[in-house]
Structures are given as C-alpha cells and as structure tokens.
Structure 1
Amino acid sequence: MSDQPSAKPTEPTQTPAEPAKPAEPVAEPAKPAKRPAPGKPEEARRIERLPGVHLDVNIGGPLTLHFPTLGKKYEAKVVGYEPFSFLIVLGRLPQDVLAQAAGGISLLAQHAARGMVFGFRTQILNRITNPASLLFLAFPESLERIVLRHDARVSVNLPGTLNGKYGEQKVMVQDLTLTGCQFTAKADLKTPLRAALVGDRLVLNCEMGCSLPIVVPIVLRRVVAEKGLLHIGAQFVDMTPETLEQLQNYVGGLLEFLDH
C-alpha cells in the first residue's frame, strides 16, 4: 500500500511531456522569409521589348545616334515624324559617316520621352542640307523601353552647382525622381539666386558619387526662402537619353538597396 503513493507522482511527469508539441507552431514566424526581396527592384526598373508602334516621340527632344560599325555616336534633335513611317531629326554628321550611312548600314538610336528611354535599330532613309541639315530615319519595327517607376523618389544628399542667369550657386540636392528634384541653397541678401522665380530655366550639375555627374536643364517649379536658405523644386527638361539612363541606374540602384 505504501508503494502506490510513490508511483502516482510519477504519472504527472508524462503529461508535461505532451505540451512540448506546441514547439511546432513556434516555427511558423519564420514564414516571413517567403517575402521575395528581389521582386521590388524589378518593379522599380525594367526593360520591355515592344513593337515599334509603342515609340513615344518627344518633339524637340534629344536623340542619340550610335554607329556600331564605326564606333561613333552623335547627338541630334527630333523635329518631326510621320507615325509608323519615319522620324525627322536635326543633326550634322561628318561626310565620311554620311557616305557609309548611305550604303544602308544599321545604326542604333536612343530617345528619351516621358521619363523613359527608347532604344531601337534604324536606317537613314534620306537627308537634306537646305534649309537645315535634316535626317530622315526609318520608323522602328521593334524597340526596347527602359521604364522606372514614376513615383520612385529617393532621399539623397548630393552636392551640385546651379548655373544660369544668376551666376553659379552651390546647392545640395535632397531628393531625386526621374522627372525632377528638390535642392537647397544658402542665400543672404546679396545672393543673386534670391531673385529666382518659378518658370526660370537653369542648368543643374549634380555629383553622383562614383558615377559621372549629371548635367541637365531644369525649370524651377517652387521657390521658398526660409531662415537663410532657398528651398527649390525643379523639373528636368530636355534630358539626353544617356543622362536619363544614368539617372535611372542611380535611382534604381538606390531603390534596390533600400528594398533589401
């Protein structure tokens, strides 16, 4: 009889062993690892291959002509087009380049419009020299479009200079998008930039760390003076395809880093 009481206390030692099973649900919080980190950078910047009908033409915008067989490139400006037929660009090419282009060699063109870079193969169909040096380019059958989210905005601290009718002024760029930026500048009563107005057109030269600086025309959209500083919002205009692609790479790279 006295042995039985000592046996009963051993039974509870078996029942606590069962609650050890709830250790399985503890593993569930690891599920957030499912979140695909690489997904966001792809959304931030992507390359699309499309039919030529998707080409957006920015009249007055720059267009870069690459001659792969010659290892040369030249800047031109789009002045007109006939949809799905040809583009008209204003640009001077050396005679030796024109002579080879007349043979129907293929060239690569890059054109920036609405915050996107379009790249495509084309040929020079015709050219005239009077009243201006105009080239007629074949409308592309297909193209590549590099797209970055238009709402992609990154906070930065990049030194730069502002040039134009107010002279040269040091600025600090504080955020960047594909279409514009915001920056500040020190200003006292003698600073010419204090007279800046919305609508003024200037040129921004911005350092981009290890990459090349960007030099881009801007139009001022907001000018606020406060406590010895000018806070200015600006819109990028007439960017070359190279500058826009450089900006896409820089902003896209920062977004990829931040998303990770």
Structure 2
Amino acid sequence: MTQTHASATQPRSSSIPGSLYHLRPGTRLVLDAAGLGKRIPTHYIGQDRGRCFIVHMPPSATHPDVYDHTYTGNTVVVRYIKDGNVWGFVTAVQGRIAKPQRLLFLDFPTSVESHNLRQRHRVECSFPASVWLRGELMDTVITDISTGGCRISLTGSDHAVDINDEVGIESAIFLATGPGNLLTGCVRRISRSAAGTDIGIRFADVPEHVMEHIDAYVERVSELLTP
C-alpha cells in the first residue's frame, strides 16, 4: 500500500487473510497502476493460489489509458472491501489477454494490509435523505458522514427517539435506496434545540456497494481538505 493512503487509516499488516482466499467471482475491486494517476473499478475473476491473481480488464472504450499502464512488470495496488475493512496489496503485472475475455494476470500477493473503514474521520455534508424511525418515514438531512456512521438533522424538537433506537436511512446519492440497500444503524447521540433535532447514528449492516460509495466520497473530500 502506498504511504499516502495508509497513514490516514491506521493499517495493520497481515500475511494472507482468509478474505483473499474466499473472494467470490464478481467481487468489486479497485486497481491503482503505477503512473496511471487514478483508480480503476473492476472485478475479481479468480486465482491460482500462490501463482497468480486474475481480474477483469476494463474495456479500452471507457478506460483507454489503463492499457498503457498494465504492461508486464508494472506495479499495481489492488483494493477490495470485505467485512467493514478495506484490504489491499501491492503486486506486479504478469500479463493480459483480450480473448476470449479481457483478463489481467497479477502476481499472487505475499502480504496484505487492512484498513478499518470505521476508524476514518467524518466529513461535513448536506444531503437530503429519508429516515425510518419507529415505523415512521421522515425527511431529513445528512449533515456529516463517515464509513462508520453519520449525523442527521430533523426539523422540530418533539420527535420520539431514544438512544439505541434502530434506524434506516434512504440516500440516493450513496445508492442506499430500496429493500436491502438502506443505511441501517442505531442511535448513539441525540441533541435537541429550537432549530431541530440532531441524531448521531452508528452504522450496522451496510451493503458493500453502499459502503464503497461512502468511502469514495469521504476520501475525495479528505483529499481536497488535506494541505
């Protein structure tokens, strides 16, 4: 992992975690090839344990520049999310093929780092959302967010809410809409004033694709605010 990203998330080293051996085909990955200057989304194909790690090669129509930086021997950082952690490793390109499918072959990693998403700091925002609270759906605004939780603001100070109440938040901007895709969690803090009610929420079981969108937003904002 590069020092730039590792220092912000308190990595802990691992040899080869079980999460790597048990990845399912289609698991979302992010590639960061040396010299490319940006991260490319793709997905996991398979592995020959100890020999190679195989991922889908993005189409040249949408990512033409990635082909200039996935030559044999070039360094690539691979990241994926599993069980509330970002796992990542540094590897090298073995080669690629275009037929019958576009595949990228990488050296099998010798070590992996993990970053606990829930340790990352919050960033301020102002996103309209809806919250399910005690069986009632209410309009709200997300006023700060991290991969571990968020704060929402409700108009009025007379809402029936207590610590540890379960909530579900719908937020289109993070693709958290529809059954099974809500930002679920529990209430950890309540602050009432004449202006309204602020509620601090700790996330529970958040779908991985929703967590990826939150993590990407937090990281972008953090990078913009970092001198």
What TM-score comes out, normalization by structure 1 length? 0.47
Distance 1:198-1:213 versus aligned 2 partners, 3 A rule:
same
Counterpart in the other structure of 1:59: none
Distance 1:186-1:148 versus aligned 2 partners, 3 A rule:
same
Q: AA paired with 1:185?
A: L
Distance in 2, matches of 1:144 and 1:242, equals 20
Is the aligned partner of 1:252 residue 2:219? Answer: yes
Counterpart in the other structure of 2:143: 174
Counterpart in the other structure of 2:207: 240
Q: Is contact 2:9-2:120 (8 Å) kept?
A: no
Distance in 1, matches of 2:118 and 2:7, equals 7
| Residue 52 (structure 1) shift | 2.8
Counterpart in the other structure of 1:231: 198
Unaligned runs of 5+ in 1: 1-37, 57-63, 74-105, 121-140
Match of 1:160 among 108, 111, 129: 129
Tell me, what secondary structure is at the counterpart of 1:199? coil
Distance in 1, matches of 2:214 and 2:167, equals 18
RMSD: 4.0
Counterpart in the other structure of 2:82: 111
Q: AA paired with 1:162?
A: V
Counterpart in the other structure of 2:7: 43
- Deviation string 1:30-66 (CA, Å, 9 cap, x unpaired) is xxxxxxxx9765633598874135x69xxxxxxx963
Counterpart in the other structure of 2:45: none
1:1-260 matches, cutoff 5 A: 43-44=7-8, 50-53=14-17, 66-67=24-25, 111-113=82-84, 116-118=85-87, 143=112, 145-148=114-117, 150-187=119-156, 194-208=159-173, 212-213=175-176, 215-260=182-227
| Residue 239 (structure 1) shift | 2.2
What TM-score comes out, normalization by structure 2 length? 0.53
% identity of equivalent residues: 19
Counterpart in the other structure of 2:46: none
- From the two aligned structures, give the one with the greater helix fraction: 1
Tell me, what secondary structure is at the counterpart of 1:178? coil
Unaligned runs of 5+ in 2: 28-52, 56-79, 90-109
| Residue 254 (structure 1) shift | 0.6
Tell me, what secondary structure is at the counterpart of 1:197? coil
Q: Is contact 1:162-1:170 (8 Å) kept?
A: yes
Counterpart in the other structure of 2:31: none
- Deviation string 1:122-164 (CA, Å, 9 cap, x unpaired) is xxxxxxxxxxxxxxxxxxx965534558252211111111014
- Deviation string 1:103-131 (CA, Å, 9 cap, x unpaired) is xxx99995224xx23479xxxxxxxxxxx
Distance in 1, matches of 2:208 and 2:12, equals 16
- State the number of aligned residues: 154
Distance 1:41-1:146 versus aligned 2 partners, 3 A rule:
closer
Distance in 2, matches of 1:203 and 1:177, equals 16
| Residue 206 (structure 1) shift | 2.5
Distance 1:47-1:246 versus aligned 2 partners, 3 A rule:
farther
| Residue 228 (structure 1) shift | 4.7
- Deviation string 1:158-196 (CA, Å, 9 cap, x unpaired) is 11110143311111111112211111111365xxxx111
| Residue 225 (structure 1) shift | 2.2
Q: AA paired with 1:225?
A: R
Distance in 2, matches of 1:150 and 1:44, equals 9
Counterpart in the other structure of 1:8: none
Q: Is contact 1:184-1:232 (8 Å) kept?
A: yes
Question: Which one has the largest radius of gyration?
Answer: 1
Distance in 1, matches of 2:211 and 2:122, equals 15
